[in-house]
Chains A and B, each alone.
Chain A
């Protein structure tokens, strides 16, 4: 079991862009997507800012090339759009059956956007009771796979906010084990009243634009989006040039509490350490000082930023690379977050740019670093580390390397 895993295509839809080009333009212009909620029908629309995609389901369906919005939850529509772009970006024709291709997605919301509206109306029959068929996470994944025409292997991961890091990791391992040649791996989550109110009940939402790693931070902004990577084996890659390589990955568990991280950030420390270890096995002469940039989980909550920061300090000592959280741009896209931030990390590598950690003013006292305040351009990024930490202490880290 061996072999390298390359990224040959990326696709994304989020609050700052309907595709990779728009997303990149927004990042470069420091144009964030956090604001009042206008599409989701919620009483909190004016109180709780979010990274909402300003398109209705009908408009998303048009972009995705489907017409039946009753049987396509928002999560599925977002996923179709991002997955199609990734495929196109990789130059892959789904009908090309020389290579075994899988679709490994991730979600926490699934079809909840339809369920929460129709839950009390199922007795009226169709289309009200369709939510029973469209609710669970696997349905959205299968709609994505069906739209693109893939059947070899389809699966879905759900581990809260680290979900799509784990789907990407599973995809890479399926290639390593020789079970698949290519994997469309990523995640999708739409905004929903369920998650918005859930996080609000936990009192970890910021009523203003979030401030990751800032001393005065008070919480996160939710977001929605989807992102996919096309992962390929060396053989499937052939003579084509990849975007970058997936050289390190790991999942560990904090095993401390259902929602809070341990005070010393043990889980994050483990996931980063293990990912760095994988990278050193895959890259000759690799040293943790070779990490050029960390795209942090950096949600803006009191607990996460402190514990993630402590863990980064423990690992990197006095050689902490530039760190930024891009969640002030996109919001926290939950199950899609790791994939969204993987795409942003890859854009960083490809465009020699470190995107800033918006809204930062004052350093957290306990931490040894402050995040990147201003965009840094013209910088060669050899290896980028991306963190995603979820409820249930589920901590994952991915490392992408320039080719």
Chain B
């Protein structure tokens, strides 16, 4: 099952919503909480709708709009989204309201917009799109599940396209609560030093990344999604090189033919140790990159990685800021392997090829 990426839209802690740019300017943060750089939403959404929308809803709807414009499509044939925590801001608002007012006289708007499928639903209403509309909420592989469903849809009907999206937000409250449990670095002076910082924890992020997938390429095409694998609780102590080799062999490739491996290193020593054997097996011959210093760690971080891979294929360049120290410069990029994992429990692999 494969598909072509015909359009993208990405709102992230980098200025990524402008499709003409590609990390020419890199934003760095001196905190372990990376928040998105937001466009002027009024350019995309009417005031009467905007007034009631939560931040994540604005991000999702706008990123979807940017993607559709990029692909030259008005109305997709399916809308499939992934989110791990869902609409946190609205959930917290309603929950606080409930607790503070002892369950009396509660405002309904926050409750209505707290359901996980709110973004997908809103996009459908704004576009008048009556087609298939699903939302996957399986934590760190929410995006991969949404991608799997998208690939299945396209295999079922190659004449149809799919609008695929990954959305996640980090609220202040959630950052503080998870911080108290040791999730984030206690003191981070520069996100560019994320991997050098040997303290436990990583940096929190958020974002909304959308893709328009089709069965056939055209002049808009960024890249081909050639393969996807999701593993749960695989019993590996680390990322088994075997998992990667097996996956690549299914697609007629060996690790040496990978022009770039985009890895989910996040600066937490235990989490990053998982990549040791894999990097060793590359033997310095596979150029490797990382990205969580740009977007932060969150359940939908792999959607940023997919955007990164697609943009690298489109622009024909690998930004220096993502290169891992020990990887070589590399020439033409025909195959990109994206690996992500979350606490070594959830692993995913995405294979991208040039169009």
A residues neighboring B (CB under 8 Å): 1, 42-44, 107-108, 115-116, 119-120, 122-123, 129, 132, 135-139, 141-142, 145, 151-160, 166, 170, 173-174, 177, 193-194, 197-198, 200-202, 251-259, 266-267, 270, 390-394
Q: Which residues of B contact A270 (CB under 8 A)?
A: 130
Distance (whole angstroms) from the CB of A117 to the closest CB of chain B: 10
Distance (whole angstroms) from the CB of B234 to the closest CB of chain A: 8
Q: Which residues of A contact B129 (CB under 8 A)?
A: 253, 255
Asked if B137 and A193 make an inter-chain contact with CB atoms under 8 angstroms apart, the answer reads no
Asked if B103 and A392 make an inter-chain contact with CB atoms under 8 angstroms apart, the answer reads no
Q: Say whether B73 faces chain A, with CB atoms less than 8 Å apart.
A: no
Q: Which residues of B contact A115 (CB under 8 A)?
A: 95
B residues neighboring A (CB under 8 Å): 1, 79, 84-86, 91, 94-95, 98-99, 102-104, 106-108, 111-118, 120-122, 124-125, 127-139, 141-142, 145, 149, 152, 155-156, 177-178, 180-181, 230, 232-234
CA distance A14 to B170 in the complex (A): 35
CA distance A156 to B99 in the complex (A): 28
Q: Total A-B pairs in contact (CB under 8 Å)? A: 169
Given contacts A159-B134, A194-B95, 13 further A-B contacts (CB under 8 A): A122-B180, A153-B232, A154-B138, A158-B116, A159-B117, A159-B135, A173-B149, A201-B108, A253-B121, A255-B128, A390-B117, A391-B117, A394-B133
Asked if B133 and A253 make an inter-chain contact with CB atoms under 8 angstroms apart, the answer reads yes
Specify the chain A residue showing the minimal Cβ separation from B121. Answer: A392
Specify the chain A residue showing the minimal Cβ separation from B109. Answer: A201
Asked if A155 and B138 make an inter-chain contact with CB atoms under 8 angstroms apart, the answer reads yes
Partner of B135, one of A158, A197, A258: A158
CA distance A123 to B136 in the complex (A): 31
Asked if A154 and B232 make an inter-chain contact with CB atoms under 8 angstroms apart, the answer reads yes
CA distance A135 to B88 in the complex (A): 11
Q: Which residues of B contact A267 (CB under 8 A)?
A: 130
Q: Which residues of B contact A158 (CB under 8 A)?
A: 86, 115-117, 135-137
Asked if A136 and B112 make an inter-chain contact with CB atoms under 8 angstroms apart, the answer reads no
Distance (whole angstroms) from the CB of A162 to the closest CB of chain B: 9
Q: Which residues of B contact A393 (CB under 8 A)?
A: 121, 124-125, 133
Please provide the 5 A-B residue pairs with the shortest distance between their CB atoms, ordered closest to farther.
A392-B121, A198-B111, A138-B139, A158-B116, A201-B108
Asked if B125 and A137 make an inter-chain contact with CB atoms under 8 angstroms apart, the answer reads no
Asked if A43 and B102 make an inter-chain contact with CB atoms under 8 angstroms apart, the answer reads yes
Q: A136-B137, A160-B117 are in contact. Are A198 and B130 (CB under 8 A)?
A: no
